[in-house]
Amino acid sequence: MESNRKIKILIVDDHLVVREGLSAMLSRKSNIEVVGEAENGSQAIEKADKLGPDIVLMDLRMPEVDGVEAMQRIKHEHPEINFIVLTTYNNDEYIFKGIEAGARAYLLKDTPREELFRAIDAVSRGESLIEPAVAGRVLDKLVELSHQTPATELSRREIEVLELIAKGTGNKLIADTLSISESTVKTHIQSIFQKLEVNDRTEAVTKALSKGIIRL
């Protein structure tokens, strides 16, 4: 964004006193122009289309259309518009829904004003900013997810069966090679198909190779 151009802000919150307070506070900044206010997601969509803000300051819990849906719909029509979530909700559900919907910053309403100004400046430069209290929850969730075993992960035996399938080995020979029954081989193959979401042996081998599960 050009340094001499003001950052155009649309404020979206269902509480009049919050909108007025934010508008008064932001309007004191020489590099910010509050171009409009909206009291719900429906108004936000209409005013974003009409006013062309650079940043929408978005609450999440609102009547008619909530903040997440409003961000998704605005982003679809105007990908150049950025969002800062300003809310009272800091639970995982709201944080991740807000970020997934396109929020470049996620702040709580008790955030110091200087932090809000910093977020606006950062987002206007194409950067992201999540306040420490929220960032900690995001990192905790990422660590939790990294430790989870995917439901689609193949067992060691299933990988052995798949490696033999990749070599063109039939069920009977697979059974003999692994010292298991042919019916057990068939059970493993059905499990492989289900986990990889494929319908036949060729698809299973192709997908496993592409994902690095097996190597030829």
The single-letter DSSP state of residue 88 is S
pLDDT band at 151 (very low <50, low <70, confident <90, very high): very low
Residue 181 has pLDDT above 90, yes or no: yes
**Architecture of domain 156-210 in this structure:** Orthogonal Bundle (1.10)
pLDDT value at residue 35? 97
Confidence tier at 145 by pLDDT (50, 70, 90):
low
Q: H or E stretch including 35?
A: strand 32-38
Residue of higher predicted confidence among 73 and 143: 73
User: Where is average pLDDT lowest: 27-36, 62-71, 118-127, 146-155?
Assistant: 146-155
Q: What percentage of the chain exceeds 70 in pLDDT? A: 91
Express as a percent the part of the chain with pLDDT over 90. 63
- Whether the per-residue pLDDT at 76 is higher than 60: the answer is yes
- Average pLDDT over the chain, rounded to an integer: 88
What letter represents residue 78's amino acid? H
pLDDT exceeds 50 at position 149: no
| Structural domain spans, the chain | 7-146, 156-210
| Residue with more model confidence, 3 or 191 | 191
pTM: 0.64
Look at residue 115 and tell me whether its pLDDT is greater than 60. Answer: yes
Residue 66 has pLDDT above 60, yes or no: yes
Residue 207 CA to residue 14 CA, distance in Å, equals 49
Instruction: Quote the tokens at residue 68.
Output: 């997440």
Place of tokens 């719909």: 73
Q: What angle do CA 3, 51, 123 make, to 5 degrees?
A: 40
Write the CA distances from 155 to 152, 162, 165, 195, 203, integer angstroms: 9, 10, 15, 10, 18
Contact 10, 36 (CB under 8 A): yes
Determine the average pLDDT of the residues in 104-108. Answer: 90
| CATH architecture for residues 7-146 | 3-Layer(aba) Sandwich (3.40)
